Amino acid sequence: MTRFFSPRAPIAFLIGLSIFLGPRPATAQLAPPFPTAERRITFRLRMPNAKDVKVDGDWTKKPVAMTKDEKGIWSFTTEPLAPDLYGYFFVVDGDNIADPSNTFMRVGTKNIKSQIEVPGDKADFLAIQNVPHGDVHEHWYFAPELKATRRIFVYTPPGYDANKTYPVLYLLHGSGDDEGYWVQVGRANFIMDNLLAAKKAKPALIVMPFGHVSREVGAGRAKGGGGPGFMEKDLFENVMPLVEKEYRVGKDAKDRAIAGLSMGGGQALNIGLNNLSRFAYVGGFSSGGLGGKSEKAFASLLADPERSNKQLKLLWVGCGTEDSLFAGNQNFEKLLASRNIQHEWHPTPAYGHIWRLWRVHLHDFLPKLFND
C-alpha cells in the first residue's frame, strides 16, 4: 500500500502540550495502553498538578473520571470492550488532550485524538489481514474558484489494471475530519481489501476528497463549512475530471456511486439524488442537514418517483438510534416512503454519532455496489 502522511503533523499539539505540562523532572515515559486478554484497557496519564482528569472515548457516552495515585499518575480501566478501533482523549481540568504516550493518532481539522485497536473476530472486517492489498494514492490539485491547493486520496484495488475500466465510489467525510479520515480512521482500504478477498464486493476505485471549503474552517479562522453546493462544484469541476484523467473509470451513472458520513452524508445525498444522470448508487451514513427543508432540497427526486426509481440502483440510508441526527434521518426515510422512492433504511440500535458505526455501514454498503 502506498503510504501517505498528513501535511498537518501534530507539531502545534506537542508544543502546546509541553507548555501545558510545564517543566517536569526526568521520569520514565508511560507505556501506551494496550488491551488485555479480557479486552480491558487501562488508560494512564502522568499529571500530578491536575485537579480533575477524565478519559472520553468511543465506548462511553460521557467522560469517565480517573483516579490519581501517590506518583501523580491518573488511571482508569474499562470493562471488556468489543473488538474494534477506538478513539479517545483525556480531559484535564476542562482541556482536551491526546494521550502523550500513544503515537497512534487521528488528526482532523478540529481535533486530535488517540486511537487503540482491540482485536477479535468481530473486528476482522476492518483488520489488516494477510490478503492482497490495494494502493492508496495521493493527488494534489488547484481549485481556481477557491484559489487553493487541495488534495484527494484514491484507493485502487489489488491487481489494478490501467487498461481496464473500473467503477468508482466517491466517499465523503464528516465535519471536523479531512480527506485522510476514511483511511486513517475508517479503514476504507482494508475493509475493501477484505471484502474483495472474500469475493463479496466488486473491484472499484474509492475517491476521498476534502469536504470543507478551507482547512481554516476547522481552526475557526474562516467562515463556511462544507455545504453541498460548494462540494458539488468542486467534485464536478475539479475532482471528477482529475480522476477520469488519471484512471480508467466508467463515466456512466451505473459506474458511479457517492456516499458519506455526517456532513459528508448530507453532501452525498444532496449531490447524488439531484444528479441521478451521474450517480446510480447513493448512500448516507448518519447524514447531517436533513431538516424540515428536505422536500424542497430533493424536489427533483420526488417530482417523478417512477423515473427516479428507474435511475436509482441503490439508495442506502442508515443512522444510529442514539444519534442526535436520528430524527432527521428517520423523517427523511418517511418522506422517501411516502413518495414511493425505493430505498434501504438501516436504523442501528444503541449506536450514536460514532466511527464504530460508520465502518460497519461502509462494510454493508460496498457489497451492494456495481452488481448490475
| CATH, residue 356 | 3.40.50.1820
The answer for residues whose C-beta is within 8 angstroms of residue 241's C-beta and 6 or more apart is none
> 331 and 245 in one domain?
yes
Residue (of 100, 93, 45, 51) closest to 71 by Cα position = 45
Same domain, 172 and 83: no
Count up the domains in the chain and report the number: 2
Q: Which amino acid is at 316?
A: W
| Under-50 pLDDT residues of the chain | 1-21, 23-26, 218-222, 224
Which of 102, 119, 136 is the last residue in one of the domains? 119
Query: What is the SS3 assignment for 204-266?
Result: CEEEEECCCCCCCCCCCCCCCCCCHHHHHHHHHHHHHHHHHHHCCECCCHHHEEEEEECHHHH
Regarding whether 282 and 169 lie in a shared domain, the answer is yes
Q: Where are the beta strands (DSSP E) in the chain?
A: 42-46, 53-57, 64-65, 67-68, 73-77, 84-92, 95-97, 105-107, 112-118, 135-143, 148-156, 168-172, 205-209, 256-261, 281-285, 314-320, 344-348
* Same domain, yes or no: 188 and 319: yes
* Domain end point (choices 119, 145, 163): 119
pLDDT for 1 equals: 36
Residues in the chain: 372
Same-domain check for residues 82 and 203: no
**What letters, b where the CB count within 10 A reaches 16 and e where it falls short, cover 65-80?**
ebebeeeebbbbebee
Give the three-state DSSP class for 320: strand
Q: Are residues 67 and 205 in the same domain?
A: no
Q: State the residue range of the domain holding 113.
A: 11-119
Position 120 scores a pLDDT of 94
Domain co-membership, 109 together with 42: yes
Total-model pTM: 0.89
Q: SS3 of 160, please?
A: coil
Q: Is residue 197 part of a domain?
A: yes
Quote the pLDDT of residue 189: 98
Whether 110 and 153 map to the same domain: the answer is: no
- Matching residue, cell 483488520: 127
Nine cell digits for residue 321: 438510534
Residue that terminates a domain, selected from 119, 142, 169? 119
Distance between CA atoms of 368 and 372, rounded to whole angstroms?
Answer: 10
Q: Return the pLDDT at 193.
A: 98
Question: Which pLDDT score, from 0 to 100, does residue 107 have?
Answer: 86
Task: Please check whether residues 54 and 101 belong to one and the same domain.
Answer: yes
Same domain, 21 and 140: no
Residues 299 and 344 in one domain: yes
Find the angle CA(170)-CA(171)-CA(176) to the nearest 5 degrees. 140
Contact criterion met (CB below 8 Å) for 6 and 13: no
Cell of 144: 481556481
